[in-house]
Amino acid sequence: MYYCYFVITDIFSYHKLIRMSKAKPIKQKTSALKEKILPESSPVKSASAYIWSGIIMILVLGGMIYSNTYDCSFQFDDKHNIIDNEAIRSLSNLKAMWDLNQSRFLAFYSFALNYHFGQLNVQGYHAVNVLIHLTNSILIFFLTQLLFTTPVLKNNSLAGHAKSVSLITALMFVAHPLATGSVTYIVQRMASMVALFYFLALILYIKGRLSESKSKYGYFAGSLLAAVMAIHVKENAYTLPLVIVLIEFYFIQQKMISIKFKNYKLLGAILGLAIIMIFAGIKYFSASIFQPIPPSIFNSVTITSSNYFYTQLSVIVKYIQLLIFPMNQNIDYDFPIAYNLLGISTILNGLILIGLLILAVYLYKRNRLISFGILWFFLSLSIESSIIPISDVIFEHRTYIPSFGFFIILSSVIYGLFWNNYKNRVLLFFVLLIGTYSSLAFQRNKVWKDELSLWSDAVEKSPKKARPYVNRGYAYGNLRQWSKSINDFEKVNELFPNQHTMAYYNLGIAYWNTGNKEKSILNYSKAVELDSTFSDAYYGLAVGYHNLNEPDKGIANYSKVITLNPKNDKAYYGRGMLMAFKNQWQVAIADYSKAIAINPNDFNFYYNRGMVYGKTNQFEKASEDFTRVLQLNPQNKSAYSLREMANAELTAKMGQ
């Protein structure tokens, strides 16, 4: 915090010198003093020093805040997007990444780059996330300054404080704890990465609109390229054309709506926007995105466009509250679904949002920057908080781009109202505010350290929601703390009896590992009763009956697994062992062969098939299987002995 204070003080001093250097001398006799204090090249040097000081401060502050994230584990959606995602295992597997999700192709490719250089070493993923966040904060620094050079704002009373307002805005952006959901949460690189191209596209567009040289075409081309890249990272990039239109009529067009058809620069920009809009419409906006989301193990109700919209009226106000008072953050908010507009909370929050929109319209001519900040917040949030239903109604990472609107409002309001009369107090306020943000973000990162800490925090804050208990139960299971795992899954069933298939399934695993095989079987049975297509639960039953020496029940459940999931090599292997136990040798060989065809690298499959080949006097095939076992597992002494026995039998047979 002291570092923040001294650097901000130095930067404001630079700003003061720049303004002094631009003022006309009142008397000729001051020129000598001016020459001593500010040589002719000083304004340029001061401006450059200011910018570099700002960049260094952003980098240092952001680096300190996120210094404790590099060993935070993979969490939540990281599992299926990164850990279990075969599509990112090779940089050349572009088609698989494209087919996985075209709108997020570049995000998946960035994960593939991480995997290429470090496999599942979590530090590399965090390093990229932090770098993207720091870059975004620097882009915010430049974007805010650029807005003050536009025709509408360049003569604004705040223009003299443009660099200071820009720096404060960027520092709040880098430090705010809500950003941890987009930075520390690895898979939500999607939110920060789309912001990178989003901000870059805006900067290049404004540069092109303000340029009078031929370089403007390069800026427009760069803006279009950045926009296309953004819409291949995450779907909320499709708000970019609307935000560019907002910038056009808020800061560049000095009249409300004034388009001259000889203004080829503007027409070219609008054509570029039209291309983006058409591309976006064909690619993403279709009737299917409005389809209701059916109930799942974590959502007991159907999410429709209407109840999602009603709920978002309260969610958006919650986002605003978290931006103002970032307390009690949660990975998994227990947010109630609103089914109509008549609820007290829905009505009140809807009125708050309508009031903000009315305020934005009212301030259009009176304070363009505040009006813009309000509309930016709503527009950039509109894809994820409107009528397009999403299974999770609230997530902190969705505030990443919209938060810029809040920060630019806060910095400009404080400067506009108080700077001239209370400079030191304004400076102290921002130092304390950014210091508080930084501390809260640093502490929040500790919660992301591992699955147990993250989901214990969620259980404490959402004690009546199933998913936190389910995920903490997983975490306890991974640590082999089975009694605690059982407590969490039993809590799920207490809160939502006969609803959560996964809770019963995991209780089956946990009870088996504590030696309570009867309860294990009962919970697996309950899981398949709730979901007759749950192959993993049938597999649990099969293994249970297998170990309890009930081969017929084991075979029946292995067969059910194979019917539901023909690629389950372990099910063929298990059924093969039980068939061998029942002396059904040919069926056992067929099952082992199926397992080998699916997974040719498991030596156990060859070992057991070799045993059956030996039992049926097929010694040559037995020898071949034991040889393959030794290729895969050279330390297997039993395979050496069995191969020697098979070869001896084969030699004796040939001798006859």
DSSP class per residue in 317-339: HHHHHHHHS--S--SS--PPPP-
Q: Is residue 266 part of a domain?
A: yes
Concatenating the DSSP letter of every residue in 393-459 gives S--GGGGTTTHHHHHHHHHHHHHHHHTTT-HHHHHHHHHHHHHHHHHHHHHHHHHTSSHHHHHHHHH
What's residue 278's pLDDT?
A: 61
267 vs 637, more confident:
637
Round to whole Å and give the CA distance between 405 and 536.
47
Instruction: Give per-residue pLDDT as tens, 204-213.
Output: 999 999 988 8
What's residue 43's pLDDT?
A: 53
**Predicted confidence band of residue 290 (pLDDT cuts 50, 70, 90):** confident
Contact yes or no for 75/448 (Cβ under 8 A): yes
If we measure between CA atoms, which residue out of 393, 183, 207 comes closest to residue 306?
393
Q: Is residue 177 part of a domain?
A: yes
**Predicted confidence band of residue 165 (pLDDT cuts 50, 70, 90):** very high
Question: Is the pLDDT score of 26 beyond 90?
Answer: no
Q: Which amino acid is at 484?
A: K
pTM of the shown model: 0.85
Round to whole Å and give the CA distance between 383 and 235.
7
Concatenating the DSSP letter of every residue in 557-601 gives HHHHHHHH-TT-HHHHHHHHHHHHHTT-HHHHHHHHHHHHHH-TT
Lowest mean pLDDT among 185-199, 276-290, 464-478, 490-504: 276-290
Round to whole Å and give the CA distance between 536 and 568.
10
Question: Is the pLDDT score of 30 beyond 60?
Answer: no
What's residue 267's pLDDT?
A: 62
211 vs 147, more confident:
147
Mean pLDDT score of the chain, rounded to an integer? 88
Q: Considering its fold, how many domains does the chain have in total?
A: 2
Contact yes or no for 577/609 (Cβ under 8 A): no
Instruction: Give per-residue pLDDT as tens, 302-314.
Output: 899 999 999 999 9
Residue 293, φ and ψ in degrees, nearest 5: -100, 115
Question: Quick one: tokens of 93?
Answer: 């597997």
3-class DSSP state of 293: strand
Half-sphere exposure of 135 (CA within 13 A, CB side): 16
Q: Among 418, 446, 474, give the residue marking a domain's end.
A: 446
Q: Among 408, 427, 446, give the residue marking a domain's end.
A: 446
Round to whole Å and give the CA distance between 487 and 553.
29
If we measure between CA atoms, which residue out of 101, 406, 383, 398 comes closest to residue 240?
383
If we measure between CA atoms, which residue out of 85, 135, 79 comes closest to residue 115?
85
Question: Is the pLDDT score of 5 beyond 70?
Answer: no
* DSSP summary character for residue 472: H
Instruction: Give per-residue pLDDT as tens, 558-593.
Output: 999 999 999 999 999 999 999 999 999 999 999 999
Q: Is residue 347 part of a domain?
A: yes
Round to whole Å and give the CA distance between 612 and 597.
17
Round to whole Å and give the CA distance between 156 and 416.
10
Q: Please name the residue ranges forming H helices in 448-534.
A: 451-461, 466-478, 482-495, 501-513, 517-530
Lowest mean pLDDT among 70-84, 255-269, 297-311, 608-622: 255-269
Q: Is residue 112 part of a domain?
A: no
Distance (Å) of CA 311 to CA 321, 330, 350, 381 = 16, 18, 10, 14
Round to whole Å and give the CA distance between 152 and 159.
10
Contact yes or no for 88/112 (Cβ under 8 A): yes
Residue that has been written with the tokens 């705010």 in this structure: 176
Round to whole Å and give the CA distance between 103 and 239.
14
Q: Which amino acid is at 56?
A: I
Percentages helix, strand, coil for the chain (3-state, rounded to 5) are 75, 0, 25
Q: Is residue 637 part of a domain?
A: yes
Q: Is residue 507 part of a domain?
A: no
Q: Among 430, 446, 462, give the residue marking a domain's end.
A: 446
Question: Is the pLDDT score of 3 beyond 60?
Answer: no
Instruction: Look up the domain containing 643 and give its range.
Output: 601-656
Q: Is residue 96 part of a domain?
A: no
Question: Quick one: tokens of 601?
Answer: 């690298």
What's residue 271's pLDDT?
A: 65
Q: Is residue 392 part of a domain?
A: yes
Widest CA span in the chain: 124
If we measure between CA atoms, which residue out of 53, 47, 166, 48 comes closest to residue 415?
166
Round to whole Å and give the CA distance between 1 and 61.
9
What's residue 143's pLDDT?
A: 97
What's residue 10's pLDDT?
A: 46
Residue 303, φ and ψ in degrees, nearest 5: -95, 115
Average pLDDT of span 583-608: 94
What's residue 44's pLDDT?
A: 53
Round to whole Å and give the CA distance between 337 and 341.
11
Question: Quick one: tokens of 526?
Answer: 């309950």
Instruction: Give per-residue pLDDT as tens, 330-353.
Output: 999 999 999 999 999 999 999 999
**Predicted confidence band of residue 215 (pLDDT cuts 50, 70, 90):** confident
Task: Residue 632: give its domain's CATH number.
Answer: 1.25.40
**Predicted confidence band of residue 274 (pLDDT cuts 50, 70, 90):** low
